[in-house]
Amino acid sequence: MYSVIKYFHSGWRYVVMLLIVLAIIRAFADWFGHKSYGEGNRKFNLFAMISAHIQLLLGLVLYFLSPLPQPGHMGEAMKNAVSRYWTVEHLTMMVIAVVLITIGHSRSKKATEAVAKNKAIAIFYTLAIIVVLIALNNPEKGVRIFGNSF
């Protein structure tokens, strides 16, 4: 069970990143181009948000199935960089990223003008991507972005 969920969580990240990056590009282009915000924009941004929520749920399941996090031994986990990363840092930053995406989507829904809708998506989804990229600083393998070590 653990390996199946880990595999799906690992592969699903590409879908999430692609949808979020495309939503960001589209939002910035429409924001600065003063274009309208239609049903297609709303649905695409919603799918991007839903994909991030699915990824978070998969990650939460992994958190409790994986041998890496040590939530029951927080004192020991905080002394070891790898344990700390898997027990606290990765989870916390990914939750923050999904919260930012959700806030951006919510603000976009509440805004009445197209510029404000696109601006909310552009800003909050971009902040979320920045948090995700920072969170990929795995002490075990160095900085990893899309599976490649740097």
The whole-angstrom separation of Cα 88 and Cα 69 is: 8
Confidence check: pLDDT of 137 > 70: yes
Confidence check: pLDDT of 139 > 80: no
Total domains, the chain: 1
The whole-angstrom separation of Cα 126 and Cα 60 is: 23
Per the CB < 8 A criterion, the answer to whether 5 and 65 are in contact is yes
The whole-angstrom separation of Cα 132 and Cα 145 is: 10
| All residues at 6 or more sequence positions from 35 whose CB lies less than 8 Å from its CB, including other chains | 29, 114, 118
The whole-angstrom separation of Cα 110 and Cα 120 is: 10
Write the pLDDT tens digit of every residue in 92-103.
999 999 999 999
User: Side chain identity at 69, as an amino acid letter?
Assistant: P
Range of the domain at 109: 2-149
Write the pLDDT tens digit of every residue in 98-117.
999 999 999 999 999 999 99
Three-class SS state of 33: coil
